[in-house]
Amino acid sequence: MNTKIPFLNLDSQYLSLRDEILPKIDEVCRKSAFCLGECVEEFEKNFADYCGIKYCLGVNSGTSALHLALLALLQLLGELRTVGLNLYLLT
């Protein structure tokens, strides 16, 4: 028996949200508001509310998010030192 079970169906999720997503994408493009600005502030506020937290900070990449999380952790532990921006793991 070769029954194929789909791992993830993003098509159906996208189609159910398409009419809500496209106007926002168009707004961001029309305003050229790809970084900073009111569109990002609105996203950060909405995402913080969705997560039930006080603050949210959008960053440009997963690497920047990890770097920011590391800085926050070091600050929390009282171990904040200068950390290079180009982090990598030695294997």
Which residue ranges make up each domain of the chain?
12-76
**Residue 82: CA count within 13 A, CB half-sphere:** 1
pLDDT at residue 18 tops 90: yes
Average pLDDT in the 1-25 region?
A: 86
Nearest one of 62, 67, 73 to 85, comparing CA atoms: 67
pLDDT at residue 24 tops 80: yes
- Residue 91's pLDDT is 46
